[in-house]
């Protein structure tokens, strides 16, 4: 169904249109690539020998054709899985909710979104995780379900959700900055400990060297004194 121009003012309509356009563009691109690779795989065994003048080239062309056929099968369009479609839909929604702020940052980010679920309005909290093991870094949480007749209450709740999303992202950014500062302090303290340890070791070695030198001087003096006493006794 075509999207009316008037509906383009609705971010949800724009997000849906973006997903549809991306899916169609991906399908066209993959179809064209698959057809080209498949065509090359079909004709290469018959053209190899005439083009190269070597009868044995057909064998190599057959192997190459099998590889091309495998590549064609790999790039051929497939139906999105539920998780893949959900990721693309959330990506499109995030782009509408955050616009130019969709660049990657090292902390979690949040946005507010509103959707319709049957006869109710759902207020959703979008989260873009900085690091996750999930297939998609984007996730949603249904915060509230409201009656569509209570427009004023829904508008107030949406504003509160936007403020909550902003506060959560601000806190996530502050925690990241605090973690970086703590890491820098630990690194600085560790460097100071290494410097102090090196200085202590230098002083220890210097003290040992001084004690050895003093002991050597004392031993030499005692030897000299003993020799002098012995000479004096022999002269008597």
Convert the pLDDT of each residue in 84-132 to its tens digit: 888 888 888 888 888 755 557 889 999 999 988 878 899 999 999 887 7
Q: What is the DSSP letter of 125?
A: E
Q: How many Å apart are CA 181 and CA 193, to the nearest integer?
A: 18
If we measure between CA atoms, which residue out of 150, 160, 156 comes closest to residue 121? 150
By CB atoms closer than 10 A (0-12, 13-18, 19+), residue 167 is exposed
Report the pLDDT averaged over residues 13-32: 80
Q: Which residues pair with 63 in a beta bridge?
A: none
What's the pLDDT at 9? Answer: 73
Q: 153: which 2 tokens?
A: 């209450």
What's the pLDDT at 119? Answer: 84
SS3 at position 19: helix
If we measure between CA atoms, which residue out of 68, 61, 60, 63 comes closest to residue 41? 68
Convert the pLDDT of each residue in 37-88 to its tens digit: 777 767 777 666 666 666 666 666 667 767 877 786 777 776 777 888 888 8
By CB atoms closer than 10 A (0-12, 13-18, 19+), residue 194 is exposed
User: Does pLDDT of 227 surpass 60?
Assistant: yes
Considering only 39-43, 133-137, 199-203, 227-231, which range has the smallest mean pLDDT? 39-43
φ and ψ at residue 109, rounded to 5 degrees: -125, 160
Query: If pLDDT is split at 50, 70 and 90, which confidence band does 8 have?
Result: low
What's the pLDDT at 2? Answer: 43
Q: How many Å apart are CA 135 and CA 78, to the nearest integer?
A: 18
Q: How many Å apart are CA 2 and CA 221, to the nearest integer?
A: 109
Convert the pLDDT of each residue in 168-217 to its tens digit: 999 999 999 999 999 999 999 899 899 988 898 999 898 999 999 898 99
């Amino acid at each position: 169904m075509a999207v009316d121009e008037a509906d383009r003012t609705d971010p949800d309509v724009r997000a849906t249109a973006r997903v549809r356009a991306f899916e169609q563009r991906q399908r066209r691109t993959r179809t064209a690539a698959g057809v080209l690779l498949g065509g090359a795989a079909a004709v290469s065994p018959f053209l190899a020998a005439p083009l190269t003048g070597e009868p044995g080239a057909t064998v190599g062309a057959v192997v190459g054709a099998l590889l091309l056929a495998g590549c064609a099968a790999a790039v051929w369009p497939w139906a999105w899985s539920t998780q893949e479609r959900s990721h693309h839909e959330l990506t499109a929604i995030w782009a509408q909710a955050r616009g130019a702020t969709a660049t990657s940052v090292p902390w979690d980010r949040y946005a507010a979104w509103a959707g319709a679920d049957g006869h109710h309005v759902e207020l959703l909290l979008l989260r873009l995780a900085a690091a996750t093991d999930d297939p998609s870094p984007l996730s949603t949480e249904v915060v509230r379900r409201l009656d569509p007749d209570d427009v004023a209450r829904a508008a107030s709740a949406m504003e509160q959700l936007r403020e909550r999303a902003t506060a959560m992202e601000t806190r996530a950014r502050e925690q990241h900055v605090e973690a970086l500062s703590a890491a820098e302090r630990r690194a600085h303290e560790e460097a100071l400990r290494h410097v102090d340890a090196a200085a202590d070791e230098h002083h220890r070695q210097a003290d040992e060297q001084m004690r050895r030198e003093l002991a050597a001087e004392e031993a030499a003096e005692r030897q000299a004194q003993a020799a002098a006493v012995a000479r004096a006794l022999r002269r008597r």
